[in-house]
Amino acid sequence: MSFKLRLSVLSIAIFQTFSVQAAIPANPSIETITVTGDRFDASPEQQLAVINTIEREEISRLNPKSVVDLLETLPGVSVTRNGGAGQSASISMRGTNSSHVLVLIDGVRIGSATLGAVSFNALSPENIERIEVVKGPRAAVWGSDAIGGVIQIFTRKLEGGEWFASAEYGSDEYMRATAGLGVSHGDGHTSLSINREQSDGYDIKNDAEDDDDGYDRLGISINGQQNLNQEWTLTWIGQLDTGHYEYDNSRANEADYDNYLWNVAAQYQTDTLTSKLAVGQSQDKNENFRADNSDLGVSLYKTTRDQVNWSNRYSASDNLTFIGGVDWSKESIAGDYAIDERDLVGIYGLARYQYGKLLMEGIVRYDDVENIDSETSYNASLAYQLNEQWRITASAGTGFQAPSFNDLYWPGTGNPDLVSETSENLDLTVHYSSDNLRGYVSLYQNTINNLIQWAPTPELDEDGYEIWKPANIQNAEITGVELSLNYSTWGVEHQLGYSYIDAIDQDGDEQLVGRSEHEFDYAMSYTWSALDILMNYHFQGERNAGDIDYDGTTDYLDAYHQLDLSLGYKLGDAWLLRLKANNLLDEEIISDRNYFSPGRQLFLSVSYQAF
């Protein structure tokens, strides 16, 4: 059976399942939320991209040890770990590369411009208020990197007089202490949150180095606003993540990191116009070394990113909205590079029009990346409201990712002739929403060209061997189906997610390395009086691991199942005890070759909230 026929049969089966589930009795506990997929607050009905959210209450119940623990619960989001919570990890969205996902914290772009990666292991989940994940190419709104989607992380906000504190102890000598306080100042407030944790860890890698790989981290965030009058508001945010972790590698086995960001913004708002001007900076700094041999030296990766964003929304009428603005950033890196900084400038415009049951949206953006090239991105979307419950959305868009500094200028192997990776995406999504159930099913295809991979060159080194350098030589086609359901039956809340991804190298007709065809997530929660229970199940299909043993054949990582359980008990209005069991079945989980995720773990926490 051909792939297209298999995909059609699978899509029909999923759609029929989705339609049957829509007949479940109503439950008003599913509430409407506000999202920021186009940079401004709006109801989900005004957004034409698929957006998944994780709220503070759910974060508390999940009791994650890393941000990737949260993201892995979402359909279409795949995680690759080099060990446990304190180790490096990467995110793939809808089958794209990890570098094809843009990550923002309170609107500030983060990540390394040398490695092209985000330090998810440095982020403290306890300092997060909510997460929004925007699926599909959003380069027309956000610029470079948003080929697979955008992850927006928002830090915790507390009103004046509100505060919380919690402590936790668990497996591998894990210890955590967290506190937060809200302070009022006139017609405004500021929140301060702090999280400190450490663990002795475990041996993360199957190699000759038999030792525990522990970590410690400190996260501090500040988030505030001041209303100057009815039109003007000032906001400010700041975050510091610093820590240390151990890992297994022949050259280096420990690392220190110091990451920070800050942002100050002024907003002017009337009934028809909202204008925001934000100035900020972020730093991603990582020093790798080997503790028992200083002769090997220290590897330093440091990116400093200055950012200025001016965004505007104008409501011309009840049915017509315009959004547009300008983004500027300067990326500066440390190291012996031929070029160690570059400017990026982007100008974008969006128009959205409601005509009866039809919602139309068009976005165009122009980006200029210094010393590389310029890119024009677009996104065109249509949504039709079939009735109060059903809506169908179709969209087409493009995206791009600029090459990293390592790809371009790494001493001896950089290739300054590289161009940006580009993508073309088609998406068809059917949404359903009622009092008791929300969900969607998406069919999408993403064609990515000029992917950067290492390739031999005509040059030879001093020993006569070929010199390899990055080159724009790979193309890929990713086709997939994504399903999400949230519903309630007899007081039990259910969340279900499924992804089918066919990510093919167009030149070799092979599944891309690190991808699974099938992923499935199911969560069930129930609250009775002072007790709440949450069960999470995750299935990860087998992954293409490449040719591990260099025998000319493709190797695969085994599929695995993970079951987590969380039990909470309220002691009065403010106190909460929580017991969390991760990997309850104690299954061997390997998402990257030779690296093991933790076995069964238990954690006990106590928290107090004065809200």
- If you average pLDDT over every residue of the chain, what do you get? 89
Band of pLDDT at residue 18, cut at 50, 70 and 90: very low
Quote the distance between the C-alpha of residue 262 and its chain's center. 20
- pLDDT, position 174: 97
- DSSP bridge pairs for 502: 479
Least confident span in 68-77, 295-304, 367-376, 517-526: 295-304
Q: Identify the CA nearest to 369 among candidates 145, 211, 533, 134.
A: 145
Place of tokens 């506000």: 34
215 sits in which H/E element: strand 213-227
pLDDT over 70 (residue 508) = no
Q: By CB neighbour count within 10 A (0-12 exposed, 13-18 middle, 19+ buried), where does 300 fall?
A: middle
Contacts of 235 (CB under 8 A, 6+ apart): 224, 225, 226, 264, 265, 267
Residues 576, 452: Cα–Cα separation, whole Å: 49
- The H-or-E segment that residue 18 falls in is helix 3-21
Residue 587, CA atoms < 13 Å, CB-side half-sphere: 18
CATH number, domain containing residue 14: 2.40.170.20
Structure tokens at 53: 């959210």
Q: What is the pLDDT of residue 129?
A: 94
Q: Specify which residues 392 forms β-bridges with.
A: 384, 430
**For the chain, how many helices (H) and strands (E)?**
5, 32
Task: Concatenate the DSSP letters of all residues of 69-131 into one string.
Answer: HHHTTSTTEEEEESSSTTS-EEEEETT--GGGEEEEETTEE-S-TTT----GGG--GGGEEEE
Question: CB-based contacts of 458: which residues, under 8 Å, 6+ apart?
Answer: none
| Residue 234 DSSP code | E
Give the tens place of pLDDT for each residue, 552-586. Answer: 788 899 999 999 999 999 998 899 999 999 999 99
Residue 124, domain member (yes or no): yes
User: Residue 208 pLDDT > 50, yes or no?
Assistant: yes
What is the distance between the alpha carbons of residues 21 and 243, in angstroms, rounded to a whole number?
A: 46
Write the CA distances from 337 to 297, 405, 406, 412, 421, integer angstroms: 18, 8, 9, 10, 22
Give phi and psi for 588, each to the nearest 5: -75, 120
Average pLDDT rounded to a whole number, residues 319-346:
95
pLDDT score at 388:
92
Query: Cβ distance 323 to 40 under 8 Å?
Result: yes
Q: Which pair of tokens denotes residue 24?
A: 């479940």
Give the structural domain span for 157.
3-476+484-493+570-610
Residue 45 placed within a domain: yes
Q: Distance between CA atoms of 60 and 38, rounded to whole angstroms? A: 27
Q: pLDDT tens digits, residue range 406-415?
A: 999 998 889 9
Let me know if residue 126 belongs to a domain: yes
Residue 481 token pair: 């189906």
Q: 519 lies in a domain?
A: no
**Interatomic CA distance for residues 283 and 333, integer angstroms:** 10
549 falls within a domain: no
Q: Is pLDDT of 16 > 60?
A: no
Q: How many folded domains does the chain comprise?
A: 1
Residue 555, classified by CB atoms within 10 Å of its CB into exposed (0-12), middle (13-18) or buried (19+), is middle
Whole-model pTM: value is 0.91
Position 13 pLDDT exceeds 50: no
Please, what is the Cα angle at 291 between 240 and 199, to 5 degrees? 50
CB atoms within 10 A of CB 263: 21
Confidence (pLDDT) at 155:
94
Write the CB contacts of 421 (distance below 8 Å, at least 6 apart in sequence): 100, 147, 400, 401, 403, 448, 449, 450, 451, 452, 472
CB atoms closer than 10 angstroms to residue 12 = 10
Q: What is the pLDDT of residues 369-408, one digit of tens each?
A: 999 989 999 999 999 999 999 999 999 999 999 999 999 9
**In whole angstroms, what is the distance from residue 339 CA to residue 169 CA?**
47
Residue 190: inside a domain, yes or no?
Answer: yes
Does residue 309 form part of some domain?
A: yes
Q: What is the DSSP letter of 598?
A: P
Residue 533 lies in a domain: no
How do 254-269 and 374-385 pair as beta strands? unpaired
